[in-house]
Amino acid sequence: MMMQHVTLNSHSCLQDIADMLEEARKVVVMTGAGISTSAGIPDFRSKNGLYTTAGVFLRTPTGYRGRPPNAQDMFESRVFSDEHLRPAFYELCTRLRNEAKKCEPTKTHEFIGRLRDLNKLARVYTQNIDRLEEKVGLSTNINKGLGTENKRKQDQIECVALHGTLHELRCSLCGLQASWDTDSRESCTLSGLAPPCPYCANSITARVALGKRKTRPGYLRPDIVLYGEEHPRSELISTITEYDISKEPDLLLILETSLKVHGFKVIVKEFAKAVHCNGGKVILVNKTNPGKLWAGVIDYWVEWDCDAWVVDMKGRKPSMWSKRKRYHLGNECQV
């Protein structure tokens, strides 16, 4: 099937898409960095993206061996073995985290939250590390896993962060997840240093007390997935995606992503196949042409800013934004 190109003047197609969303019952949403740019968080690859502008986040961008670090290299797995890049990486991640904490969700985030409130949302899979989804009420805690199917309990993850999160730290050795806001860790990372892992430190102390050999401790690092790394909970993510596919999703919504990352592309194609098998459609909202390789996978490419598209959707389907009942912490409430 040909991929249909939809512009802001394609009123008939935009209405068809709005009708599909209103009728859909199990919507899988997959998002990229573009949904957060209007909140003030840069994407990576665009003209004003992080690969180009990372220096503005660094206090002394030329202070690392007298030359500015390559921003793209800072998100490769080898960053931890590079004495030039590692301090810049820690400072950059700390400053990005602080920016993300101040940002408010965009109209697109609010729309995703509305899909959840209408019990239409199967799950969100995001490449973003800002965790803005939490600010519209979605659970991003991967440790919840699938939970139960009882919507009243809200004990399952609603948004899977495929590339981790800037808001937690993780030990490079034992995998312990740790708070960034404890034991002056933020001031440590802001200065370009790696905080020690408290669990490893305690284990080493216990070993020495028993007369055993002192081992090398792990260090805390931002809990994000770099290029060349695998998500530490990849098996659980595979279980969640397989479960969501088995529940027969009827619409796939892909928002503001360039579709360049291999792992993300694989998941998109798996969900697209499942949605097509269930008679549903795959919709991409992004200003960049996905290319001919996506013909037969994507049914509609909406060439538009995602927030603007959401505003248009709201005008076409105002009933989707009216007050509806949803379940929260075991009780019904109005939203």
For residues 131 and 159, give the distance between their C-alpha atoms in angstroms, rounded to a whole number. 9
Encoded amino acid at 54, one letter: A
Q: 86 Cβ partners below 8 Å, 6+ apart?
A: 79, 80, 192, 194
- Told to judge if 163 belongs to the known catalytic residues of this protein, a careful annotator would answer yes
Cα separation, 65 vs 91, in Å, equals: 15
Task: Could you list the residues known to form a binding site, using ranges.
Answer: 171, 174, 197, 200
DSSP 206: H
109, 163, 167, 231: which one is catalytic?
Answer: 163
- DSSP category for residue 303: -
**Alpha-carbon distance values, 83 to 54, 55, 74, 79 (Å):** 18, 18, 11, 8
50-102+168-224 fold: SIR2/SIRT2 'Small Domain' (3.30.1600)
Residues belonging to the binding site for Zn(2+) are 171, 174, 197, 200
Domain map (residue ranges) of the chain: 4-40+105-163+230-334, 50-102+168-224
Encoded tokens for 291: 């290319």
User: 4-40+105-163+230-334: what CATH class?
Assistant: alpha beta
Please tell me what DSSP assigns to residue 169.
E
3-state secondary structure at position 108: helix
Task: Give the pTM.
Answer: 0.90
Q: What is the pLDDT along the chain (335 residues), one digit of tens a residue?
A: 689 999 999 999 999 999 999 999 999 999 999 999 999 887 776 666 666 666 666 665 555 555 666 777 888 999 998 888 898 899 989 989 998 999 999 999 999 999 999 999 999 999 999 999 999 999 999 989 998 766 655 688 999 999 999 999 999 999 999 999 988 999 999 999 999 999 998 998 898 888 888 888 899 999 999 989 999 999 999 999 999 999 999 999 999 999 999 999 999 999 999 999 999 999 999 999 999 999 999 999 999 999 999 999 999 999 998 855 454 433 333 33
Instruction: Name the strand (E) or helix (H) holding 161.
Output: strand 159-161
